[in-house]
Every structure is written in structure tokens, then in C-alpha cells.
Amino acid sequence: MQLDGSCHCGAVRFTCESRAPYPFMYCYCSICRKTAGGGGFAINLHADADSLHVEGEGHIVVYRAWLDHPHRKRRSVGERRFCKRCGSALWVWDPGWPELMHPFASAIDTPLPEPPERVHILLDSKPGWVPVPQGRNERHFSGYPDEFLIQWHERHGLVRG
Ligand SMILES: [Zn+2]
Ligand SMILES: [Zn+2]
């Protein structure tokens, strides 16, 4: 499906195609939390990098996150894009998976499908004040999860196109 995204001030708009658009993965790492997650987490989506079309590219800035927060000596190779006018988090692109891009669900204007199960990751980085949903359809990982975004969609029979 096509995902239409934008920043809050409207300077940046983008579209991309996703075969795996369910917003099921909640990341509580310090990077997601500080840069994109007022609620204590951010939700990353799966989309095809070569389908990306951007308007307002000149308003985008890239942040390569420090990996050893709070020491700040080593940077991630992943590129996080933001609108420099309003600060909205837009998407992450990682050179390790150049064919993919990961829009933040918060930047997407297209109504997204509701996931039948959610996955909560990097819980070791979660501060105590952030509540984590419990129950049959909530999976929890202290670190990274046991499957990629696309594999979750395959397991649930939800890959499109
Ligand atoms: Zn903006
Ligand atoms: Zn994260």
C-alpha cells in the first residue's frame, strides 16, 4: 500500500510503498524515545526505499545517533531524518539494508491497519515510568526481537502485493 507522510509544519511531504505496513513494533531504546517518542517509545514501519518520493527535501536534516549514550563517542551508521523547521521525525534509513526505509508511524497520514499482535523491544532501555501493555497479543523483548518486520507480517499472513 502507499503510505503518505508529512512533518507537522508541512514543509516536508513524502510517499513510499509498503508491503508490510502494520505498526506493531514499539521500540523503547533511548534514541527512539528521545528523538521520536514522547510516550516512551517510537513505532518504525517497513517500506521500500526505491519507492520514496520526497517534496521539501531541503527542509530535511539527518541525525546519526550516538550509540553509547550518554558518552557520545560512537555514531550509528543509520540515518534518521527530521524536518529542520518543526522537528518531526520522518524516517530511518540504514546502509546495512539499503533497499528498505523505516518511516515513523507518527509521520504517516494514511490510515494504518491495526496489528493483531504487538512487539515491544529494547525494554532494557525503558524508563520505569513508561507502561508496557501486557496480555496474550503483546510480545516482549529485553533487547532486539527474534524476527524482522517483514517476517512478522509473513507469520501473520499480512504481507501485501
Ligand atoms: Zn516540518
Ligand atoms: Zn529504537
pTM of the model: 0.93
Give domain status of residue 65, yes or no.
yes
Give domain status of residue 21, yes or no.
yes
Give domain status of residue 110, yes or no.
yes
CATH number of the domain bearing residue 138 = 2.170.150.70
Section 7-24 average pLDDT: 98
Dihedral of alpha carbons 1, 150, 63, 132, sign: positive
In angstroms, the CA 144 to CA 83 distance is 28
- Per-residue pLDDT band for 25 (boundaries 50, 70, 90) equals very high
Give domain status of residue 77, yes or no.
yes
- Per-residue pLDDT band for 65 (boundaries 50, 70, 90) equals confident
Give domain status of residue 50, yes or no.
yes
Question: Where is 110: in which H helix or E strand?
Answer: none
Are 47 and 36 in contact by the 8 Å Cβ rule? The answer is: no
Report the separation in Å between the CA atom of 45 and the middle of ligand 2, taken as the mean of its atom positions.
12
Give domain status of residue 160, yes or no.
no
Report the separation in Å between the CA atom of 145 and the middle of ligand 1, taken as the mean of its atom positions.
31
| Domain total in the chain | 1
Report the separation in Å between the CA atom of 159 and the middle of ligand 1, taken as the mean of its atom positions.
31
Report the separation in Å between the CA atom of 60 and the middle of ligand 1, taken as the mean of its atom positions.
8
In angstroms, the CA 129 to CA 137 distance is 22
Range of the domain at 14: 2-155
The 8-class DSSP code of residue 44 comes to B
- Ligand closest to Cα of 5 equals 1
Give domain status of residue 161, yes or no.
no
Report the separation in Å between the CA atom of 141 and the middle of ligand 1, taken as the mean of its atom positions.
33
Give domain status of residue 98, yes or no.
yes
Residues around the ion ligand 2 (C-beta < 5 A): 27, 29, 32
pLDDT in tens, 98-124: 999 999 999 999 999 999 999 999 999
